[in-house]
Amino acid sequence: MIRFEAVTFEYQTAEGPIPAVSDVDLAVGRGEFVAVVGANGSGKSTFARLCDGLLVPTRGRVVVDDLDTRDADAVWEVRARVGFVMQNPDNQIVGASVEDDAAFGPENLGLPRAEIAGRVAGALSATGLTGLERSEPHLLSEGQKQRLAIAGTLAMHPDYVVFDEATSMLDAAGREDVLAIVERLARASGTGVVLVTHRVAEAVRADRVVGLAAGRVIFDGEPAALLGDENAVSRLSLDVPASSAIAAELRTRGIDIPPGVATPEALVEALWL
Ligand SMILES: Nc1ncnc2c1ncn2[C@@H]1O[C@H](COP(=O)(O)OP(=O)(O)OP(=O)(O)O)[C@@H](O)[C@H]1O
Ligand SMILES: [Mg+2]
């Protein structure tokens, strides 16, 4: 479990402290898929970085399983347990070839050669990159690059993975590839997933959505409940697709539409069945 206990984080600047996350209490379990949404500057990235100890709380604490992220001796163990995938894969890719890149993390863990090779093969397969082992990362498409960044994280065998707007530079097909990996991670591998996104169509695929406004949690619940909460949708500046809005409205009228319906096709399918 990644547990936030009364967590406040302030950036210290020359002009004084800037609060970014205020008084957050919540937990994300293994196998849980949690989306984090909110307007620009609402504290999503700060929240994400607090999960893996990249930032540590100004007040309160973040505990990963039994490790307090403020504990300097636990830093590397926390980073190994909580993977992080950034918006821009170029900031995360370090290897001269796809396989070297995916091997970078496990090599730093000092694992035996055979174990590293097995992890790399597994991570490349999970991200659909098998066959590209010898390719140069900079020659990959944006979608492939982002999947390589994810492969590098998965090769560490993390218990949790935090994605900070990891689909925002990708086209629709690239986003769908990443979303499919995210869903498999949570549902088949039992990894805890935190997906920071500004896309409602992505957030509704999670088990649970946490909405941040000015650093505070103003919504924490199922996607369908969020879409039915006009006040929360507006405070979170969410751009709800028409099909999601219609689905939410139909639900309030007692028509059973499954959560996650966010496209006209899915809506037609749900009404048809
Ligand atoms: N390095 C920093 N120094 C000072 N203030 C910062 C820093 N990083 C973020 N902030 C401030 O902290 C608040 C939260 O920022 P954060 O980046 O966590 O929001 P966000 O929800 O990820 O935004 P975005 O949607 O633009 O990615 C904002 O007011 C922001 O200006
Ligand atoms: Mg951000």
pLDDT in tens, 176-189: 999 999 999 999 99
Is CATH 3.40.50.2300 the right assignment for the domain spanning 2-238? Answer: no
Cβ atoms of 31 and 186 closer than 8 Å: yes
Q: Give the global pTM.
A: 0.92
- Distance from Cα 215 to the centre of ligand 1, integer Å: 9
Ligand 1 atom nearest residue 13's Cα: 4
Cβ atoms of 55 and 9 closer than 8 Å: yes
Cβ atoms of 174 and 142 closer than 8 Å: yes
pLDDT at 223 over 80: yes
Question: Which tokens go with 162?
Answer: 């935090």
pLDDT in tens, 10-40: 999 999 999 999 999 999 999 999 999 999 9
Backbone angles phi, psi at 223, to 5 degrees: -55, -45
Cβ atoms of 139 and 90 closer than 8 Å: no
Give the chain's radius of gyration (CA, Å). Answer: 19
Ligand 1 atom nearest residue 212's Cα: 21
Residue list, ligand 1 pocket, CB within 6 Å: 11, 13, 18, 20, 38, 40-46
pLDDT at 202 over 80: yes
Residue 57: how many other CB atoms lie within 10 Å: 20
Q: Whose CA is nearest to atom 11 of ligand 1?
A: 20
Ligand 1 atom nearest residue 45's Cα: 22
All CATH 3.40.50.300 domain ranges of the chain, comma separated, are 2-238
pLDDT in tens, 32-88: 999 999 999 999 999 999 999 999 999 999 999 999 999 999 999 999 999 999 999
| Confidence class for position 224, pLDDT limits 50, 70, 90 | confident
Residue 225: how many other CB atoms lie within 10 Å: 16
pLDDT at 135 over 80: yes
pLDDT at 273 over 80: no
- Nearest residue to 196 (alpha-carbon basis) of 187, 184, 185, 206: 206
Pocket test for ligand 1, best of 46, 49, 87 (most atoms within 8 A of CB): 46
pLDDT at 228 over 90: no
